[in-house]
Amino acid sequence: MFKKALIPALVLAAASVAVPAAAQSYGQHDRGHDRGGPRYEQNHRGWESISQRKYNLDRRIDVGQRNGQLSRREASRLRAELNSLVRLEYNYQRGGLSARERQDLDRRYDQLSRQVREERRDRDGRRY
């Protein structure tokens, strides 16, 4: 039973690592200036790349669970939402990431980031 649950988790983890490596931008570059990489992954005026945001969210969830700010159930739910965003991002990237799709992903990652912050501060999962 445990092996059946472990295999999809490992596949999803491998896919979440491979997706940022396969990310490409087929759109126009910023006013004709190619600054050494896909526009999608560049840091423009403090904008954090989506792959970096995924890493940071996953790390915040892990730290919150380790130090008791998040219960196991809260962390599992937040990870499921993060994995859902990873799948959505993968679907968006199939034909190249448009500006609208990037804005949608940014909005969804912002919302998930707020949820992680709220869950870590609500003291539901604290071990007092």
Could you report the per-residue pLDDT of 91-102, keeping only the tens digit for each?
Answer: 998 988 899 998
Could you report the per-residue pLDDT of 40-85, keeping only the tens digit for each?
Answer: 444 445 557 778 888 999 999 999 999 999 999 999 999 999 999 9
CB 26 within 8 A of CB 96: yes
CB 39 within 8 A of CB 29: yes
Q: Is the pLDDT of residue 118 over 70?
A: yes
pLDDT of res. 17: 59
Domain residue spans in the chain? 64-122
How far lies 106's CA from each of 35, 52, 54, 67, 82, in Å?
21, 12, 11, 28, 13
How does DSSP classify residue 125?
S
R_g over Cα of the chain: 17
CB 59 within 8 A of CB 116: no
What is the number of other CB atoms lying within 10 angstroms of the CB of residue 106?
Answer: 14
